[in-house]
Structure 1
Amino acid sequence: MCLALCLAAGTAQAHHHGRCVVDDLDREVCLHNPARRIATLSPGATELTYAAGAGDQVVAVVSYSDYPPAAKAVVSVGSHTRIDLEALVSLAPDLAVGWVSGNPTEQLETLETLGVAVFYIEPRSIEGVANAIERLARLAGTEQAGQRVADAFRKQMGRLEKQYAERPPVSTFYQVWNEPLMSVNDQHLIGQVIQLCGGTNVVGEQPRLVPRLDDETVLAADPEAIVAGGMGEESSLWLTYWEQYPNLTAVANHHLFFVPPSLIQRPTPRLVQGTKILCDQLESVRQQRGAR
């Protein structure tokens, strides 16, 4: 009932007028005026919207939207996998920032039928992160603030790329999930970060962006470094699993590394921090090589 009653409260999406951007589904999204009531439907979308200078316009988030700290005070309307549409529409958003592969398509389509503009994002490159910030800033009318953040991000990542461009490669396995065992290929943003740090992703040529694997694949590749995110920001328990294989090079040389997942698995400006951590870890592998 509320969905129908709240329809009038929503701001209709503008077509071919006002401020327009192309989202990550290659759809043109247009607003007559800058968005004033924004719903961010993934933790990454929340971070990117705040980074774009539009934090004060965010009226709804989903669970685990924990950065920046101000986002914790915003009303949560469910999880990225199941949005409470009635609660969301009752907040009268004029823009929803959706996650291409994470939000239920049918729910976002329903939002659009109710007059809420939906901007889909899923940055898959370092430049894609910066560009997402710029496009969000365009929709929110915060272009100057967003441009500053996007430019700073490009500059910082460029510095890291230059610093590690000539470093000897380190064969690396990145674990993005444990059951089932999952990693990333070279087309994934994390795969690109590994390459930036001078790492060689041992499953980089897998056809799927996020391949499902078995232990034997990792044992056969015998990486020098194993890097894991984890179930939480301070939980490195996934790494202890690999200690059952003492002959694995990464285990024998104590090169089992943890990176807080929000710093490397969310496509946001904090990727700079995650990249620095990973690059330092791979550099320690090189230094140990030289000491042997």
Structure 2
Amino acid sequence: MRRFFACWLLALGPLTVAQAAISVTDDTRQTVTLPAPAHRIVSLAPHVTELLFAAGAGPYIVGVSEFSDYPPAAKRIPTIGSALSLDLERIIQLKPDLIVGWNKGNPAPQLAQLEQLGIPVYKSEPYSLEAIPRSIESLAHLAGTEVTGQAAASAFRTRLKQLRETYEHRRPVTVFYQIWRAPLMTLNGTHMVSSVLRHCGGENIFAELPQLAPTVSVEAVVKANPEAIIASSGEQEDLFALWRRFPAMKAVARGNLVTIDGALLNRSGPRILDGMENLCRKLDEVRSKQR
């Protein structure tokens, strides 16, 4: 009997280890596997930091990129450089058991170097509103905080559904979404901000352009004659001085020069729904000014 029990324990050991392994698929469709929940996590982008906190993994974050300013607790975590220029030596010194990177925002060679060192790297790039709660669930699974993550993901989906049902079937409003002034830049229809616009009943006048963040001409905007022009309040100086030179444009004539909080709407994190609700309400104000 003792011999049988010993053999059973030996057989059970490898099985238990295998069951303890944690695997998820990241936003690049790559599998990330950990031997145990991650308790030393480095975040390489502000939106990633917000996703990790929403997932309940905040206490396990040991390093963040610059501008990770939400929630307030994130400001107290050591920084590892900017998203565009990572301090690899500093990251290695933190001895992370998981790195959550920004697929299109972090330098690909630096992410590859971290992977070559044997550090698991989850690459984040939510391309849709639906991908955000999935990201929260995946990160919670990697950190062993599934209960918190599932609750946050469920709350996100419920609120998103409510906002869609409230706003997306209202009268369409044509919009120019300005992300930069010199050169004049916007976003195309595949960007998440355009998805938010659609759910608010907005129509991006440059949705069909192939580039994600195309440069456009003043003449093209004037010709499209949008009903509203939207810009981020994060910029300095007068955001709309250029457009006031064209008083016949609908957006100018009707006073529909709209500012939004870029930190809410431009980050692919859970607070995007706060930005969405604010934007939807502002487009309702635009509708009320129709002449």
Same fold at TM > 0.5: yes
In 1: Cα distance, 2:283 partner to 2:177 partner: 12
Q: Which structure 1 residue ranges, 5 or more long, are not aligned?
A: 1-13
Question: Aligned residue for 1:75?
Answer: 78
* Mapped partners of 1:47, 1:240: distance in 2: 34
Distance, in Å, in 1 between the alignment partners of 2:18 and 2:171 is 51
Structure 1 runs, 4 residues or longer, greater than 6 Å off? 14-17
Aligned to 2:218: 215
Q: 2:121 aligns with which of 95, 112, 118?
A: 118
Shift of 1:183: 1.2
What pairs up with 1:28-177 in 2 under 5 angstroms? 28-177=31-180
In structure 2, distance between residues paired with 1:31 and 1:240 = 52
Identity of aligned residues (%): 43
- C-alpha deviations, 1:241-270, integer Å up to 9, x for none? 322222221011110111111110001111
The answer to whether the Cα contact below 8 Å between 1:18 and 1:31 also exists between their aligned partners in 2 is yes
Q: Residue 289 of structure 2 aligns to a residue in which SS?
A: helix
On the 8 A contact 1:63/1:80 being kept in 2, the answer is yes
Asked if 2 retains the 8 angstrom alpha-carbon contact of 1:177 and 1:183, the reply is yes
2:261 matched residue in structure 1: 260
Q: Secondary structure at the match of 1:126?
A: coil
Q: Amino acid of the residue matched to residue 240 of structure 1? A: A
Amino acid of the residue matched to residue 253 of structure 2? A
Aligned to 1:283: 284
Deviations 1:62-118 (A, max 9, x none): 110000000000000110000011111101011111111100111111111112110
| 8 Å Cα contact 1:228-1:259 kept in structure 2 | yes
- Read off the aligned partner of 2:39 and give its amino acid letter: R
- Larger radius of gyration between Structure 1 and Structure 2: 2
**Aligned-pair RMSD on alpha carbons?**
1.7
**Structure 2 spans left out of the alignment, 5+ residues:** 1-16
- Report the Cα offset of residue 166 of structure 1: 2.2
Distance 1:236 1:242 in 2: 14
Kept in 2, the 8 Å contact 1:176–1:182? The answer is yes
- Distance in 1, matches of 2:219 and 2:208, equals 16
Residue 193 (structure 1) shift: 0.4
Single out whichever of 18-27 and 189-198 deviates more from structure 2: 18-27
TM-score (norm 2): 0.91
Using a 3 Å threshold, how does the CA distance of structure 1 residues 161 and 178 change in structure 2: closer, same or farther? same
Q: For structure 1, which segment, 15-24 or 216-225, has the greater mean C-alpha deviation from structure 2 after superposition?
A: 15-24
Q: How many residues align?
A: 275
Distance (whole Å) between structure 1 residues aligned to residue 130 and residue 237 of structure 2: 29
Following superposition, the deviation at residue 29 of structure 1 comes to 0.5
Q: Residue 188 in 1 paired to residue 205 in 2?
A: no
Superposed CA offset, 1:123-154 (max 9, x none): 01010111111111111111110111111111
* One-letter identity of the residue aligned with 1:247: A
Distance 2:233 2:101 in 1: 24
Q: How far is 1:158 from its partner?
A: 0.9
Q: Is the 8 A contact 1:177 1:230 kept in 2?
A: no
1:238 maps to amino acid:
L
Deviates more, 1:71-80 or 1:236-245: 236-245
Counterpart CA distance in 2 for 1:272 and 1:25 is 24
Q: Indicate conservation of the 8 Å contact 2:63/2:91, yes or no.
A: yes
State the TM-score, normalizing by the size of structure 1.
0.90
Residues 219-261 of structure 1 show CA distances to partners (whole Å, capped at 9, x for unaligned) of: 11110001111445xx573233322222221011110111111
CA contact (8 A) 2:20 2:36 kept: no
Distance 1:57 1:83 in 2: 20
- Alpha-carbon distance in 1 for matches of 2:268, 2:241: 27
CA contact (8 A) 1:164 1:197 kept: yes
Secondary structure of 1:53's partner?
Answer: coil
Q: Distance in 2 between matches of 1:22 and 1:81?
A: 24
Of 15, 18, 21, which aligns to 2:21?
18
Whether the aligned pair in 2 keeps the contact of 1:228 and 1:236 (CA below 8 Å) is: no
